[in-house]
Structure 1
């Protein structure tokens, strides 16, 4: 638009000047020494304009010749970049379609000519991984890093992801550990480390990582609480496997209060103490947990451990009976505790009430053993029979009377 306006103005000016010169062409005399030139003003103006135009276009031509190599280089660069961009697009399409060999070939063919060699090599590494070509995968990752050294984290994350996919856990751990030293606050690095620690079962390291996961908002509050509970549970199980009561108790004491109030963990811990012969400690833990939160799984285990002194345990359980008088689990636990204290009458009362409220195989076995000890074999046999029928899920078949002898 600007060019057209300029051309129009020049044309108007030329027409105006031409009209003026037609009316009065003028006269010009130029003398230099013995030489002189005479002409009209219109002719002199035309010659000057023609000379200016020749000089202008001549200079433009010379400048164009000087800049020709640079322009040719720029054109070649644009041509290669366009070709590389087309190859990248085709390679990504092949990658999405699962044509790994074609994708790899197209992605690396013109990678060096494009504006984004990093993307080419990272995608090519994925294609090589899918073909099981791990040496080529590592080569492309190295080339990606060389193409853009400042993208160390992006390359490292891709490398770790591919290593995990190929079950190269130790290599992935080394990669992510390096990345954490380079970018300690990077959320994706922390999340991948978290997932890897879970897969490796490295609960102690995951426990150490938890505060950073919370701080960097990698997990929301609910997810962080669930993970913390799982980590503490697994650490507790590891301590149990060590068969070391001192280590187990030390770990339990180090856990947060909210964790030690979780019924599931209390059940695991108390069961382990019982297996390790620390029944008095188990009884105390269970008693405190049940007072805070009623859980019949804990009550059942409470009846199976021996407290010291025994009377305190029985007293605590009988206090709970005031608010849970129809709990068959509590009644059976009381029956067990009374049996250990050789309080046969109490034990019988509690066990008979328990099986009346909820018949169980174990309840009938306990009651039958007690009745047999108390000298009531017929009633004991009847309890054992009911327990067998309950276990079998059907009554015992009726047998014909014995033939007279």
Structure 2
């Protein structure tokens, strides 16, 4: 609207000034080679204006012609890209609906002329995997691997798919290509943790755990539980190999780790296996004096016998503080059975059934009562055991 108003104002000004301009006719002389042009000033100005507009019109016509030629030449390519977008959208909707055959077909077509074909290939591979078409899935991933940027994603996806198939050995081969280190991405590290656990590769997991902790991929509780479990299994495996491996594994632990009950118990079992029972008992006594725990109470009956009086004396001192501790009472009951003191064992099993009754504790109490000739109370204990099943 404003542009039109400006044109109208300019025309009106021209109409007002035209009589004055015509009355003041100047003279223009133009010579180009053998050509000469003589005219008035007004006609010369008008001619220049017309010439300018003619050039503008010519430029517009040339650009229009070029655009028509170029668009007609590349029109099929544009059609294919438009079709690829449509296929990609159809595939995405099919993925959301978990229509795997339709998703695979649409995504594969969209990858041919799509803007980001790698994404289409990954989506098609996922759809093929859920259909159980392993050959097609691997074909799509191989195509995606041609893009250097996508190699890590391809290896990660391939590893995960192989793990779901149960092909752990092949999955490990692919994972090793990723070489999980502190510089690896979080998904690669979590994938490595999952695969090492499934393969029971505790040595590899031991090396990975500090990285997981540093990158905060595990909570403090999760790390402590997994770290303790890993070290315990490594200790047991080392004891199966040799005494030297057992001691090496123990000394590889940090100072704080050598104070954990589970690891102390595992090392003590290994020492006992190689004839170093006295050393094992000293470790147990030291740990028991510092902080009695359920793990220690559970391990003691398997580590000592009727001749180990020192541990028994230490346990008796804990009676006032652990009178209502079921693990402590179970430990004493098992030690009493070792000493063939059935009456004392019955007392401790009664305490267990009072504190935290279980099927096994009622059965143990019933057996002790039977040995003592208390058949009626034993029958009642058997009934209680049956009710807990």
Note whether the superposition's TM-score is higher than 0.5.
yes
Counterpart among 231, 248, 253 of residue 255 in structure 1: 253
What stretches of structure 1 of length at least 5 have no aligned partner?
340-346, 369-381, 396-405
Q: CA deviation at 1:20?
A: 2.4
Report which stretch shifted further, 324-333 or 256-265.
324-333
| Equivalence for 1:155 | 154
The residue matched to 1:157 in structure 2 has which SS? helix
Q: Contact conserved, 2:94 with 2:103, CA < 8 A, in 1?
A: yes
Q: CA deviation at 1:290?
A: 1.6
Q: Contact conserved, 1:30 with 1:36, CA < 8 A, in 2?
A: no
| Equivalence for 2:62 | 62
Q: Deviations over 1:82-109 (max 9, x none)?
A: 3322211110111221221111111121
Q: 1:115–1:261: structure 2 CA closer, same or farther, 3 Å change rule?
A: same
Q: 1:40–1:216: structure 2 CA closer, same or farther, 3 Å change rule?
A: same
Q: CA deviation at 1:12?
A: 2.4
| Equivalence for 2:138 | 138
Q: Deviations over 1:186-225 (max 9, x none)?
A: 2211111011111111111101111111222222322211
Q: Contact conserved, 2:129 with 2:137, CA < 8 A, in 1?
A: yes
Q: Contact conserved, 1:303 with 1:336, CA < 8 A, in 2?
A: no
The residue matched to 2:218 in structure 1 has which SS? coil
Q: Deviations over 1:32-87 (max 9, x none)?
A: 99x99998766555444333322321133224434544455666555443332221
| Equivalence for 2:6 | 9
The residue matched to 1:385 in structure 2 has which SS? coil
Aligned-partner Cα distance in 2 for 1:281–1:156: 49
Counterpart among 284, 287, 302 of residue 289 in structure 1: 287
- State yes or no: 1:18 paired with 2:4: no
Report which stretch shifted further, 347-356 or 119-128.
347-356
- State yes or no: 1:227 paired with 2:226: yes
- State yes or no: 1:215 paired with 2:207: no
- State yes or no: 1:390 paired with 2:388: no
Q: 1:353–1:92: structure 2 CA closer, same or farther, 3 Å change rule?
A: closer
TM-score (norm 2): 0.75
Q: CA RMSD in A?
A: 4.2
| Equivalence for 1:113 | 113
Size of the alignment, in residue pairs? 369
Q: 1:98–1:155: structure 2 CA closer, same or farther, 3 Å change rule?
A: same
- State yes or no: 1:124 paired with 2:124: yes
The residue matched to 1:132 in structure 2 has which SS? coil
Q: Deviations over 1:267-314 (max 9, x none)?
A: 555456657765434433322222122236634653554479845445
Aligned-partner Cα distance in 2 for 1:358–1:39: 126
Aligned-partner Cα distance in 2 for 1:83–1:36: 61
Q: How does 1:306-321 map to 2 (within 5 A)?
A: 306=304, 310=308, 312-320=310-318
What stretches of structure 2 of length at least 5 have no aligned partner?
354-360, 384-389
- State yes or no: 1:98 paired with 2:129: no
| Equivalence for 1:236 | 235
Q: 1:265–1:86: structure 2 CA closer, same or farther, 3 Å change rule?
A: same
Aligned-partner Cα distance in 1 for 2:182–2:267: 38
The residue matched to 1:223 in structure 2 has which SS? helix
Aligned-partner Cα distance in 2 for 1:66–1:36: 36
Report which stretch shifted further, 203-212 or 215-224.
215-224
- State yes or no: 1:176 paired with 2:196: no
Structure of greater Rg: 1
Aligned-partner Cα distance in 1 for 2:280–2:181: 46
The residue matched to 1:110 in structure 2 has which SS? helix
Aligned-partner Cα distance in 2 for 1:133–1:320: 64
TM-score (norm 1): 0.72
The residue matched to 2:22 in structure 1 has which SS? coil
Report which stretch shifted further, 56-65 or 201-210.
56-65
Q: 1:15–1:222: structure 2 CA closer, same or farther, 3 Å change rule?
A: same
Aligned-partner Cα distance in 1 for 2:234–2:376: 40
